[in-house]
Amino acid sequence: MSLLVVGLSHRSAPVSVLERAALNADAQAKLLQDTLAAEPATEAAVLATCNRIELYADVDKFHAGVAELSTLLAQHSGVGLEELTPYLYVHYEDRAVHHLFSVACGLDSMVVGEGQILGQIKDTLARAQELHTAGRLLNDLFQQALRVGKRAHSETGIDRAGQSLVTFGLEQLAAREPVGEWVRGKRALVIGAGSMSSLAAATLVRAGVTEIVVANRTFERAERLAEILGDSGPAGVTARAVPMDSVARELTRADVAVSCTGATGLVLTADVVSAAVEGRVPAEARLGEVPAQARSGSAGTAVRPVETAEEPCPFDLSTARGFSVAGEAAVAGMDAASLEQHAAWVDNAPAERREGTAPDPQAEAEAIAALVAAAGRTGRLPERRRPFPSAAHARPAVLALLDLAMPRDIDAAVHRVPGVRLVDIESLADASADAPMAADVEQVRSIVSDEVAAFGAAQRAAHITPTVVALRTMAADVVAGEMARLEGRLPGLEDKQRAEITQTVRRVVDKLLHAPTVRVKQLAGEPGGAGYADALRTLFDLDPQTVAAVSRADHTNNENDDPNRGRA
């Protein structure tokens, strides 16, 4: 076994890189085909989810395999190899098995213990089988990963530690309020009709929304999902489907929207969201206005709006209210030049303009200078995703958005739209970093370790089986040859005598081979036991072609005899 995995995930790479490296179905298929065409790989599978992209392969050379798989990932993701390499991780042989089993159990998920990954692993195997890129090793590996994941969920309480990204995302939107209470009575819009969107829609219906609208590029799929939701949901829930060009209109009616599509571009821009909110937000909370409760400081003194007539600020202060009030969220995604301009504007601010404003000009200038430096290094401004304790963000949200897509469906600039709360993959990663781990996680880790050892032993034992079969075939040929020679020398043997002699010779051969073949299978199952097959072939001068023929025949028989192969 020479299993190799090269990949990146939310643990190794920022969301901005994962977003750019995301692979659609066609790109995944092409990556698999190109991987098999590469010299080091004989099998391949791609596990691509919203927070990981991993390429699994059976390779004959480790270093060449790492180089080739890394290059292929870079080519098909569109992220340059030099940029992608620092975020890649590599696992080999038993470590690769351990990694996949951990992933299957939800130990490596953004939300520890979530069960959706099992469906994604099943889809990965099905895709590799459909494209004929999965052979014996990857078929066995992914089938066992599914069994290990199911065992972890059935034998431990890992479900108590984990939940789906949908549930976790809704909890973040609801903040301190129980999801059921927060959702009850709301109108929901779900964009997309795939597995994640369907789960989101079903979760919202169970939680108590009064209306759910499904939008999808293929209207028939949206209709089908809406029909299922209407039939299976509680009484009083309205479920209907709309085409994608109705999303902007439906957004003006929705209280919460969930988006998870396979689109490569933005589904909801900041302008669309802002327009949808404009007619719903109370007048005092609209863009450019300050809520009444934010107009006085702790001592009751008025806080005057920043005057900009004599020298306009480079960005809209009605959103930022200075700089610190909305912080980095106010300028997320802006270029370094605009930030530098604002830093100079703050530095040169006359005293009367500063009076009554909360920010300290020096501190503001330093903060912006740091952001400029960061933008220069990364090519974009770092985007803060957590809520800011500011007047602008203290306003009650009239529209809650959950973006579960990778790459993202909803413009990050939506964070700056008053009255909107956005939770996306990046903010979920921030929140899950502080989530408590259940005690059952240790039990799951123990299960994974045991299963990895068992899988490795089984693979190593299976590796030597063709050699043992070839040895016994050679011994049977020797017996047959010797009996033919005896027949020539003793042509007068009776059938009974001939049969007895044949049986005796076979018993002798079997007894001589029994102990060494049983023992070599045991030894091959232990770590480092792969060399016993080579030793057996060398000692008995076995023809490598014979061993290979046995392997091919055994593989074909296994596939034909197992009607459940490829099913989980």
Annotated binding site for NADP(+): 192-197
C-alpha 185/C-alpha 207 separation (Å) is: 9
313 carries an active-site annotation? no
Which residue type occupies 212? I
CA diameter of the chain = 126
DSSP symbols for 396-460: PPSEEEEE--SS-SB-GGGGGSTTEEEEEHHHHHHHHTTPPPPTHHHHHHHHHHHHHHHHHHHHH
Closest CA to 258 of 384, 332, 172: 172
Structural element, H or E, at residue 354: helix 351-354
- Show the tokens assigned to 565: 């192969």
- Which of 50, 105, 260, 313 is catalytic? The answer is 50
Residue 5 burial (C-beta neighbours within 10 Å; 0-12, 13-18, 19+): buried
- Show the tokens assigned to 123: 């889809």
C-alpha 163/C-alpha 99 separation (Å) is: 20
Residue 80 burial (C-beta neighbours within 10 Å; 0-12, 13-18, 19+): exposed
- Show the tokens assigned to 438: 């259940």
Sheet of strand 89-92: strand arrangement: 41-49, 52-59, 3-9, 89-92
Cα distance between the two ends of the chain = 23
C-alpha 195/C-alpha 191 separation (Å) is: 12
Among positive and negative, which fits the CA dihedral 180, 182, 185, 187? negative
Annotated binding site for substrate: 49-52, 109, 114-116, 120
- Show the tokens assigned to 88: 């890649």
Catalytic site positions: 50
